[in-house]
Amino acid sequence: MVGGQLSPVTVGPLDLSLPLFRDVPLSERQSLFLRKLHICCLLLDFSHTLNNVREKEIKRQSLLELVEFIQSGSGTVVSETCQEEMVQMVSLNIFRGLPPSPHAQENNDPEEDEPYLDPTWPHLQLVYELLLRFIISSDTDTKIAKRYIDHSFVLKLVDLFDSDDPREREYLKTILHWIYGKFMVHRPFIRKAINNIFYRFIYETERHNGIGELLEILGSIINGFALPTKEEHKLFLVRALIPLHKPKPVSMYHQQLFYCITQFVEKDYKLADIVIRGLLKCWPVTNCQKEVLFLGELEEVLESTQAAEFQRCMVPLCRQVARCLNSSHFQVAERSLFLWNNEHIVSLIAQNRSVVLPIIFESLEKNIHSHWNQAVHGLTINVKKMFMDMDPELFEECQRMYNDKMSRATEVEEQRELTWKILADAAAQNGEDIMFLPYRSNTFCVAYIDFEASP
């Protein structure tokens, strides 16, 4: 002990042989508990499996007995001193510098690489199990425990979510969730700590192993939000959740993020406009797999969207869908056409067809005339027929406007070719040749070559 607190123990002349809890009277169990905690402060080297084999086994057995003692109650309530020393022992074991991530290289793909497994896990697991059993125990008085499971402890716990070992992140997720549920005083701090992790991930590193687990915790937290939605929670949606769609590894945690987003919209449908505009702002340009994910999320959000919210965002939304319809990647085009299989979305479109159809009509025509994929071609015909049955007059008007636009485009193209032909003929009469050089987008500069002046 140092200053009344446990300190790390190194291998040395330490009495590691202690009796079992069941072999001592109740009056001595608190003292035995402290002595076993002292043994569990023994930090051992797991880089070599043959080192300190006896000490490792004794520590493992001690941790198992401590877990059983907390879980069963053992006929006595853990004293405040024991609680303090136990949290100190847990801190000594789990709060450590994490090793460099094996996925830190730019070319590594975490989805394909094998997960990293911490060699110290045989002891770490039991330490986490002890902490979990202590938190969820009905005998734990949160008014006392919060003195030791404080903001500093919680912050260090949140930082451990960057561990490469998925087993450790799973324990951390369960423990932090229970702390959020039982220690109400920590709730705002936990949300803020998670926000800060997200901000650093989005705007600085784009590297963190525990984003998915943190989002799982938030999914349950959002599910418990009361209505009307607080301004603090709306800011969290706008500043953290929606921007989480931007980073490259979004596919690693998209399912959890998608759940959080839909929880917000299902709780407060008025947030649908904010969410849809946020998705459009983060929409990928060259990553087709992300586009497919976004289209799936968009469908779920639209499922909970009311007519008034749809009308606020339908113009930019339909423009983006129109672009997706013409994607050369068949999965993107196909997924966007599947939106018309959703009855609620079709009803929203039908109510606002006078705005929606003119925006997407050209994309439908382009697919029918030039898309290479037969499945996309067939789905496009079905959507076009749906609009035709929905409002024949509007459909005919859009068809006429499209034909007029194509006719004007043809006339402009013919006029352009005629103009260049006149220029070429005029140059030929003057004994010059004419060469068209690209100058800017859709424009050309003309270079005249005087062959008579050439040597």
d(CA 216, CA 180): 13
Place of tokens 């946020």: 278
Model confidence at 2, in pLDDT bands (50, 70, 90)? very low
Model confidence at 13, in pLDDT bands (50, 70, 90)? very low
The answer to whether residues 402 and 361 touch, using CB atoms and an 8 Å cutoff, is: yes
Q: What are phi and psi of 5, to 5 degrees?
A: -120, 155
Model confidence at 451, in pLDDT bands (50, 70, 90)? very low
> What does the pLDDT average to over 273-284?
96
pLDDT digits (tens, 9 = 90+) for 209-265: 999 999 999 999 999 898 888 999 999 999 999 999 999 999 999 999 999 999 999
Burial category of 216 from C-beta neighbours within 10 Å (exposed 0-12, middle 13-18, buried 19 and up): buried
* Both tokens assigned to 448: 């005249």
> Nearest to residue 218, comparing CAs of 185, 252, 190, 254?
190
Beta-carbon contacts of residue 328 (< 8 Å; ≥ 6 apart): 372
pLDDT digits (tens, 9 = 90+) for 421-449: 998 888 888 866 555 555 444 454 555 44
pLDDT at 194 over 90: yes
Across-strand partners of 9? Answer: 42
DSSP-derived letter for residue 448 is E
pLDDT digits (tens, 9 = 90+) for 371-420: 999 999 999 999 999 999 999 999 999 999 999 999 999 999 999 999 99
Cα-Cα-Cα-Cα dihedral sign, residues 16, 21, 23, 27: positive
The type of residue at 123 is H
d(CA 22, CA 20): 5
pTM of the model: 0.85
CA distances 57 to 8, 15, 53, 97, 379, Å, are 18, 14, 6, 24, 64
Q: What are phi and psi of 433, to 5 degrees?
A: -105, 155
Across-strand partners of 435? Answer: 447
Model confidence at 19, in pLDDT bands (50, 70, 90)? confident
* Both tokens assigned to 424: 């070429």
> Nearest to residue 337, comparing CAs of 373, 304, 301?
373
Give the model's pLDDT for residue 287: 93
d(CA 193, CA 240): 12
Q: What is the per-residue burial (b if ≥16 Cβ within 10 Å, else e) of 288-316?
A: bebbbbbbebbbbbbbbbeeebbebbbee
* 348 three-state secondary structure: helix
Beta-carbon contacts of residue 83 (< 8 Å; ≥ 6 apart): 134, 140, 144, 145, 148
Please give the helix or strand (H or E) that residue 217 lies within, else none.
helix 211-223
Give the model's pLDDT for residue 10: 47
pLDDT digits (tens, 9 = 90+) for 39-70: 899 888 777 777 778 888 889 999 999 999 89
